[in-house]
Amino acid sequence: MTIPVEIWIRGTDVATTKELSRVTREPEAWVDDDVRAILEGMLNAMADVKNDAKNPGEASRVAQLRGFSWIVNPFEGGVLIAIEMTLGAAVAGPFAVDKAKLEAMINRVLARESPPTVVH
């Protein structure tokens, strides 16, 4: 499955489209690992676009699933995944999957990736 991702990097005037192809299942059959691959792919695509625009030749880094805001939004009969951070924003989709189901998967994936909370 090819997933289009629209990316805007802060300080630029244009959006760029990248494609993710790491997910093979259709959206209704996604499991948490598919959602993790999409989120990581979106973050890595943002880093790649930033590097192309501001630091050509810099190697890609591994994405960390923290430090960004996200939302699942209805769009054209499906839903979009949108993420935003200091670097910029990325939007993937639309996907034919239940909004609440996708939100629950994203919440589970991010909860597993979050560092433990320490209270002093």
51 lies in some domain: yes
5-27: b or e for each residue (b if 16 or more CB lie within 10 Å)? Answer: bbbbbeeeeeebebebeebeeeb
Domain that holds residue 14: 3-112
59 lies in some domain: yes
pTM for this one?
A: 0.85
Q: What pLDDT is recorded for position 60? A: 59
73 lies in some domain: yes
32 class by beta-carbon count within 10 Å (0-12 exposed, 13-18 middle, 19+ buried): middle
Q: What pLDDT is recorded for position 89? A: 96
53 lies in some domain: yes
Per-residue pLDDT tens, the chain, 120 aa: give them. Answer: 899 999 999 998 999 999 999 899 999 999 999 999 999 999 999 988 887 655 556 655 656 788 899 999 999 889 999 999 999 999 999 999 999 999 999 999 999 875 555 555
